[in-house]
Structure formats: C-alpha cells, structure tokens
Copies of this chain bind each other. A is one copy, B any other.
C-alpha cells in the first residue's frame, strides 16, 4: 500500500513507529511542521509526543507551522504542555486558551514573512521539520499533501526531517504543487509569476534521503472544520459586495473579468464565492491562500480559469468530492508555498481584489482582525496583511453587530489595529458598503456610520463623533482620548455596548 509511495529505496529502512519518531524531538527543540488552515499537518508523531509527555517525559518545544493545524497537533500538544512558543497562526481552541492564559508565547505574524524570517535566522536554529507527504521521489524529495505552507523552508533549514507518509491522501495530488524558495537578499531575483496560473518551481520539496531520519506511515484523515451553512446575514453581506464589484466594472474601474480574487477563510468567504457563482462574472481567477468548498463549486461551474492557493481545506463532504474528481481538479489547482501565495510582490503585480473579514472596524477605517476586546487573541492576522496592503482593492467584511446585538462591530476606536486607515479601501456589512477611497478620516466616519453601522448604534457613534469633533476643534482625526474605548469598557462592565437608556 505505501511502498510504491516511497520511491527512494534506501528510505524504506527508515520507517519507524510514531513513538520512535517522536523520541527524535528533544526537550528545548524548535520544530517546524507542515499544515495550513487545518490541512496537510502531521498527526501521528504529535499525538505520540503528547502521549510521551503525559506519561512523564520532559519535552517542551517551540512550534512553527504554516498556519492553523488540527487538534492532533495544536490541541494535543498544548494540552500536554509541550508547546512553549507558537508561530505564526492558530485557530485551535486549546491552543487559544493556552495563549490567553499565558502558558504559550504566541507570535502572530504575516504569513508571507515566516519562511524568510526562519531563513534569516530570526527564530534561531530549526532542529526538526515534520512534514506530511503523499510520496517520496526516487531522489528522496518530498511530495506534500493538501497544504504547502512553510514546509519547503522548514525542510531546507531543519537539521533533520521526519516524514509522515499519509496513505489517506490521494497520490494523484503529485503535480499540483509548485515549490519555489526565493534566494535571500542580496541575491534575490524577481518572483517570476506574471500570470496567476504560472508555474515557477518543482512539483516536490527538495530534501534528499540523507536528511530524512524517520518515516511514519499513517492514514489519519485531516480534521477539517465543518462549514456553517450560508445564513441570511452572510448572503446579505455577499450581495452588497457583489453589487459593489459590478458597479466598479460599470464605472470602468475594474475590467469585466475583474482581477484575481483573494478571499479569507470561513462562512462569509464561502458566501462571497457562492454569490459570485450566481452572478454574471465569468472566467475569474482565484489567487488566494485557502481553497474551500465554494472554490471547488466555482471550478465545477467553470467560473475559475485559475485557482491558486497554499492549501485545500474543504469540508468533510468537500474532501470526498475533491478525492473523487482529483484528476479534474488537479488541472485547475496550483498549490504554492505561503511565501509565494501571499507574496506582496505578486499580489501587487497581478492586482488582487482582497476580501477579508474583520472582528471590528472603527469609524476612521482602522481594522482589528485578531483581538477580542483588545486583549484576547482570537486566531491571528494570517495572510490578510500580505494581501490588503498590496491589493488593487482592499475590502473588509463584517456583520454590523455580534453577540445578538450586544457588540457593535463598528466602534469609535478599534481595540487593536491590524490594518491601518492607510490600507483599507472598502468596508462591507449587511447594512451596506462604505467606499473610503479619496476620503479624509472625517469623511470616512460619515460614510461608515451611515452605510455600515447597525441602526441601533448609529446615534451612539454619531454622538461620539460629534463630541470628538467639538472637543478637538475639528482636528484631522477627532477622538476623545481616554474615552475612545467607551463602547468596549461598557461591554466589559455590563455585557453590552448599548447605553443603559438605549
């Protein structure tokens, strides 16, 4: 079953149990793994390591991944107290708790930055790479599975490599990957992607047999996250966004085929693509991070001419569909390292339309993508900064309220800034669209409050804005310093951002 996947004979001797492989990971090591937005991450070795730790083995590590990984890795290891430092993104419940209780030091990083910062030596020496693979080539190179993430750099930089050969991953994936590692300055060359569908690298991660110290055979399936069905709220946001894009085409500010779309992860992103499926747009291009069910739908409907990302993360049902029609999808899908899928150079050159979700947005257009009430880490900035700053059009979507209306997602001042006023062009809520281009902060405030805020909060927001304008004599960005987080303070103290009288 697995022997035809290990085409480098000398490596057949390195097949070991997950327990034996886990023993290669020593206390104090820095470990980089495959995995991006729960897909293509190692599972057997982390679970074995967690078991060893729970049985009393002293082992604490720094964990670097592509992006979020499943419960077998982030969940098990954080609960077993194995991870002390985590880079660059996560979405796991147990890991999030560990981060917000101060048990794990978390570095929330632009996803295009991690690989080069590892190569630059800014994270210290990388001791081990653990990579999930579909196959190993005749020369000992690694064919990854449903995600690439930072794996190529981890393999290049790590002292040793452990491969998890996952027989549940279809071998037909070979050829979908396009692996390219840029040289470091001062020797770096232009990244030669001119068109979003260009292939510029090799179909495998260069490694060679010497570096691979252990191979573990497994068939554990990616623990993909179930997708919420598209609700009316998401549909309303998606409809507003698509109306806006159609308007831009009409005004001649976007070509009829638009420009390459980048879209975040989750049900709102799925709703946007679902909306596009029913729109008049044809021959679209997707240049993004994560390929979800809705992207497969777009391929099925022949709406996507190119579909480029760094990971495929369908639902459980989507995964079955993907495997069933793998020969069809593999012609349309290109998987790249996250350093390339998210590359600012490429994003600006091809002119992506970036569509990302926000936790909260303030009246001047600053966006918080990461922190709940300014303090608790939700997931991380992910690739939103890579795309947003370099986009042709930078769009953020959020519902106008959360927690059944107790939270306004439009606030006087965000409690944490991930995207500054300089980087945000368009805001979309179920209420409408705010176009911030060519507008000063005060003009943006009027636009955002009128078009995007929930009616329940408009008067409160206008009241803050007017008081701030008055107190600062109409300064460039009117704020009441010391009172700019009064919405958040009220929520923390009373459980709602609404005023008692409201």
Chain A residues in the interface with B (C-beta under 8 A)? 85, 87, 99-102, 105-110, 113, 117, 120-124, 184-186, 188-192, 194-195, 251-253, 255, 259-260, 344-345, 348-351, 366, 371, 373-377, 381, 385, 389-390, 392, 415-423, 425, 437-440, 442-443, 468-469, 472-479, 481-482, 484-486, 488-489, 492
Select the residue from A87, A191, A421, A473 with max chain B CB neighbours within 10 A: A421
Copies of this subunit = 2
Residues of B within 8 A of A492 (CB): 481-482
Give the docked Cα–Cα distance between A417 and B374 (Å).
14
Cα distance A12–B190 when bound, in Å? 44
Cβ-defined partner of A351 (8 Å) among B188, B344, B475, B484: B188
Among the listed B121, B348, B420, B475, which residue makes an inter-chain contact with A376, where contact means beta carbons less than 8 Å apart? B475
A417 proximity list for chain B (CB < 8 A): 366, 417, 420
Smallest Cβ-Cβ distance to A421: which chain B residue? B108
Contact of B440 with A107 in the complex, beta carbons under 8 Å: yes
Residues in B whose Cβ lies below 8 Å from that of A253: 120-122
Q: Mind listing 19 A-B residue pairs with CB under 8 Å?
A: A100-B475, A106-B476, A107-B439, A117-B437, A121-B251, A122-B253, A122-B425, A185-B392, A186-B259, A188-B350, A375-B472, A376-B472, A376-B476, A385-B422, A417-B420, A418-B422, A482-B486, A482-B488, A484-B485
- Contact A477:B371 (CB < 8 A) given known A186-B255, A349-B345, A488-B482: yes
> Judging by beta carbons under 8 Å apart, are B375 and A477 in contact?
yes
Q: Chain B contacts of A439 at CB under 8 A?
A: 105, 107
Closest beta carbon of chain B to A88's beta carbon, Å: 9
A101/B392 contact (C-beta < 8 A), A186-B255, A190-B194 known: no
* A253-B418 Cα distance, complex, nearest whole Å: 28
Check B192 against A190 for contact (C-beta < 8 Å): yes
Residue ID in chain B nearest A443 by CB atoms: B105
Q: Is the CB of A350 within 8 A of B190?
A: no
Residues of B within 8 A of A122 (CB): 253, 425, 437-438
Residues of B within 8 A of A85 (CB): 438, 440
Q: Which residues of B contact A117 (CB under 8 A)?
A: 437
Check B375 against A188 for contact (C-beta < 8 Å): no
Nearest chain B residue, comparing its CB with the CB of A376: B475
- A350 contact from B185, B392, B437, B478, Cβ within 8 A: B185
Which residue of the partner chain, among B87, B350, B389, B481, contacts A374 with CB atoms under 8 Å? B481
Instruction: Select one of B101, B195, B390, B477 contacting A474, CB under 8 A.
Output: B101
Q: Is the CB of B190 within 8 A of A481?
A: no
B349 touches A481 (CB 8 A): no
A444 to B: closest C-beta gap in Å: 10
Do A477 and B350 contact each other (CB < 8 Å), given the known contacts A185-B392, A255-B186, A482-B486?
A: no
Q: Which residues of B contact A475 (CB under 8 A)?
A: 100-102, 375-377
- Please, how many angstroms separate the alpha-carbon atoms of A416 and B439 in the complex? 18
Asked whether B481 lies within 8 Å of A422 as measured between CB atoms, the reply is no
Given A194-B190, A442-B105, A377-B477 contact (CB < 8 Å): yes
A448 to B152 Cα, complex, angstroms: 34
A251 to B186, CA, bound (A): 18
Whose C-beta in chain B lies nearest to the C-beta of A351? Answer: B185
Q: Which of B255, B422, B474 contacts A381 (CB 8 A)?
A: B422
B488 and A481 contact, CB distance less than 8 A: yes
Instruction: Point out the residues of chain B lying under 8 angstroms from A190, CB to CB.
Output: 190-192, 194, 345, 349
Q: Which of B389, B486, B488 contacts A389 (CB 8 A)?
A: B389
* Cα-based distance from A194 to B185 in the complex (angstroms): 10
CA distance in complex: A232, B291 (Å) = 55
A150 → chain B closest CB, angstroms: 15
User: Known: A252-B121, A484-B485. Is A189-B194 also a contact (CB below 8 A)?
Assistant: yes
Given contacts A85-B438, A185-B259, A374-B481, 16 further A-B contacts (CB under 8 A): A100-B473, A100-B474, A100-B476, A102-B473, A102-B474, A121-B252, A185-B349, A185-B392, A186-B350, A188-B349, A190-B192, A344-B390, A345-B348, A375-B472, A416-B477, A482-B488
